[in-house]
Structure 1
Amino acid sequence: MTPASLDEGLRAAFAKAEAREPIHRAAAGFVPMESRAVFMAWVALLEELRECVFELSDPRVTAVKSGWWAEELDGVARGAARHPLTRALVRSGGPWGGVGGALLAVASDDAPAADLEGAITALRPLAEALVRVEAHLFGAEANIEAPARSLAVHWLRLRLERGLEASDRGRVPLVMFARHGLRRDQLAGTEADALRRDWAMQLHDALPAASPKGWAYPRLIGLHTDRRALRCAAEGRGPSRGITTGFLEVWQAWRCARNAALRAHPPATHTT
């Protein structure tokens, strides 16, 4: 399988995910060619589901799109697929049953959590369902608790970066507003700078301090990017930019690949 043989929809979806997290371009280069379509499709699917659940501004659109994706994921559990991403994944099998229901449950619940653990717990049904599939796709260890927690923190990190003015107020828990003496509608203002740094540090500290062995490759990539981004946010600075960033991403992707579980897949075929 060559890059030219990949489904056009798969390539476009992966490009969208890569634009959000540029390290995915480097990471794909360390995946064996016969497994690359599965890696790209999974990364892109996580991007689509995250956007659908957390980033659509109109709750009615969220309900429609999450309903469509839930139906599609239930179809994968039965061996059927319509979307380019699920078509690339369905042949690999996996415990897809229940993923659609977990997606709907999380998409319909944006009530503020009381604290860090409450914020993570609210996301765990979907995180655990997806990590089970991920473990199957990439041959990762059966224990899903720590990787699922990491995925939930990943979503909370992205809500902190892009959800400050949304109705869920970035899913920042109520205890943070009480601690800093602020209202939820002040989250995006300069008066909440210390609150946002404090929350970023809490999220950073909720992640493993080192890269665990045996995790799926996408989860290790996510863990690396989350630690770096949250550390920058906790220090009140943006992510690093510049010519050295690309080399750093290649090096970090290689380091993650050394520790990762990465199952070989047969060459993918795509239908139109």
Structure 2
Amino acid sequence: MEVGHDALQSYVNKWLAAQPAQRVALAFVDPARHAGHIALAALEQELLAAAYGIREPHVAATKLNWWAEELAGAAQNGGRHPLTQVLFDDERSGRIDSERWLAPVVAAMAQLEEGTAADFGAQLAAASQLHGALAALETAWWFGESASPERAARVAAIAHLLHALRRLDDDAERDRLPLPMTSLARHGLRRDELRRAGAARNAAVRGQLEELTAAWREASRLAGPLSVFRAVESHAGERLARRAAGAAEPLQVLQHARPSGGLATTLAAWQAARRWRRGNAA
């Protein structure tokens, strides 16, 4: 099935705009040979944009319902969307259970009206529903159904919580805040103070970053491989979290961070690509 290059590229561009460090990963994942891998990453970005980027829950639900219908029927009709057309033209799609394709959409709809989590553990568990489903689909696509998605699911959830923290100013009025309730109470922060710099907000953000970096350390001990894209996202996120945690103005460091595309990121992408190729050759 031929899909228009411009139509597909517009979605890939949206993914790269959200994760500019992935341009490094594309040097190790040939778009000509692995179009499905890139289409899956772009599909993840589309689902996340619907789940988090649309402020009206009923509008987001409508969008996600469309994706549920699209993914449920794509195995039979080949898909209507440029991304699903690429994915379901690839033989890998037939080796993945239909429930894996639908699980991220179901999880996204379930969390649309969730409020602020009580503590970091609850926050991580809530994020793991959607991001764990996405990571399980990705792991099956890259490594086969027998590969464990445990580590990928955890780092996907952690990376999301870091991204949410970076948007603290923008999301201060939403029902689900990037900081858990225990953190707000510990630092005496009211909702209307989250947009204003100050010692209390700095301490709360720094505490959240310490929780995230500890979670990244624990995730490194979990089972399962990471795709090249997930490895780059995790590497860049962990480095940024550590750097911001040590800064006088941690939120400012998070919000003004430049895309990570240096030698360390390139090395992380190369190592992940080598593990992926060895796994496929086994």
TM-score by length of 2: 0.79
Among 206, 225, 250, which residue is 2:236 paired with? 225
Please report how far the alpha carbon of residue 245 of structure 1 lies from its aligned counterpart in structure 2 after TM superposition.
Answer: 4.2
- Give the secondary-structure state (helix, strand or coil) at the position aligned to 1:171: coil
| Alpha-carbon distance between aligned partners in 2 of 1:54 and 1:178, rounded to the nearest angstrom | 25
| Alpha-carbon distance between aligned partners in 2 of 1:78 and 1:225, rounded to the nearest angstrom | 38
Please report how far the alpha carbon of residue 262 of structure 1 lies from its aligned counterpart in structure 2 after TM superposition.
Answer: 8.0
Question: Alpha carbons of 1:135 and 1:213: their partners in 2 closer, same or farther (altered >3 Å)?
Answer: closer
Q: Is the 8 A contact 2:28 2:269 kept in 1?
A: yes
Question: Alpha carbons of 1:241 and 1:231: their partners in 2 closer, same or farther (altered >3 Å)?
Answer: same
- Give the secondary-structure state (helix, strand or coil) at the position aligned to 1:25: helix
- Give the secondary-structure state (helix, strand or coil) at the position aligned to 1:82: coil
Please report how far the alpha carbon of residue 148 of structure 1 lies from its aligned counterpart in structure 2 after TM superposition.
Answer: 0.9
The answer to whether residue 150 in structure 2 is matched with residue 145 in structure 1 is yes
> Hey, what does 1:270 align to over in structure 2?
none
Structure 2: tracts of 5 or more residues without a match: none
Q: Is the 8 A contact 1:172 1:199 kept in 2?
A: yes
> Hey, what does 2:115 align to over in structure 1?
111
- Give the secondary-structure state (helix, strand or coil) at the position aligned to 1:30: coil
> Hey, what does 2:21 align to over in structure 1?
23
The answer to whether residue 197 in structure 2 is matched with residue 190 in structure 1 is yes
| Alpha-carbon distance between aligned partners in 2 of 1:168 and 1:225, rounded to the nearest angstrom | 28
Question: Alpha carbons of 1:45 and 1:33: their partners in 2 closer, same or farther (altered >3 Å)?
Answer: closer
The answer to whether residue 58 in structure 2 is matched with residue 60 in structure 1 is yes
Question: Alpha carbons of 1:56 and 1:116: their partners in 2 closer, same or farther (altered >3 Å)?
Answer: same
- Give the secondary-structure state (helix, strand or coil) at the position aligned to 1:149: helix
> Hey, what does 2:178 align to over in structure 1?
171
Amino acid corresponding to residue 171 of structure 1 in structure 2: P
Among 91, 94, 97, which residue is 1:95 paired with? 97
| Alpha-carbon distance between aligned partners in 2 of 1:197 and 1:138, rounded to the nearest angstrom | 35
- Give the secondary-structure state (helix, strand or coil) at the position aligned to 1:49: helix
| Alpha-carbon distance between aligned partners in 1 of 2:62 and 2:47, rounded to the nearest angstrom | 13
Q: Is the 8 A contact 2:148 2:224 kept in 1?
A: no
Among 144, 159, 167, which residue is 1:162 paired with? 167
| Alpha-carbon distance between aligned partners in 1 of 2:55 and 2:168, rounded to the nearest angstrom | 10
TM-score by length of 1: 0.82
Alignment of 1:175-254 (within 5 A): 175-191=182-198, 192-208=201-217, 214-235=225-246, 236=250, 237-238=253-254, 241=258, 245-254=261-270
Amino acid corresponding to residue 187 of structure 1 in structure 2: L
> Hey, what does 2:275 align to over in structure 1?
259
Range moving further from structure 2, 141-150 or 223-232 = 141-150
Please report how far the alpha carbon of residue 78 of structure 1 lies from its aligned counterpart in structure 2 after TM superposition.
Answer: 5.3
| Alpha-carbon distance between aligned partners in 2 of 1:153 and 1:262, rounded to the nearest angstrom | 27
Please report how far the alpha carbon of residue 249 of structure 1 lies from its aligned counterpart in structure 2 after TM superposition.
Answer: 3.8
Please report how far the alpha carbon of residue 175 of structure 1 lies from its aligned counterpart in structure 2 after TM superposition.
Answer: 0.9
| Alpha-carbon distance between aligned partners in 1 of 2:153 and 2:97, rounded to the nearest angstrom | 15
- Give the secondary-structure state (helix, strand or coil) at the position aligned to 1:81: coil
Q: What do you get for the CA RMSD once the two structures are aligned?
A: 2.9
Q: Is the 8 A contact 1:28 1:39 kept in 2?
A: no
> Hey, what does 1:129 align to over in structure 2?
133
Alignment of 1:33-52 (within 5 A): 35-52=33-50
Amino-acid identity (%): 30
The answer to whether residue 131 in structure 2 is matched with residue 120 in structure 1 is no
- Give the secondary-structure state (helix, strand or coil) at the position aligned to 1:207: helix
| Alpha-carbon distance between aligned partners in 2 of 1:131 and 1:247, rounded to the nearest angstrom | 26
| Alpha-carbon distance between aligned partners in 1 of 2:117 and 2:277, rounded to the nearest angstrom | 33
Amino acid corresponding to residue 201 of structure 1 in structure 2: E
> How many residues of Structure 1 are paired with residues of Structure 2 in the alignment?
259
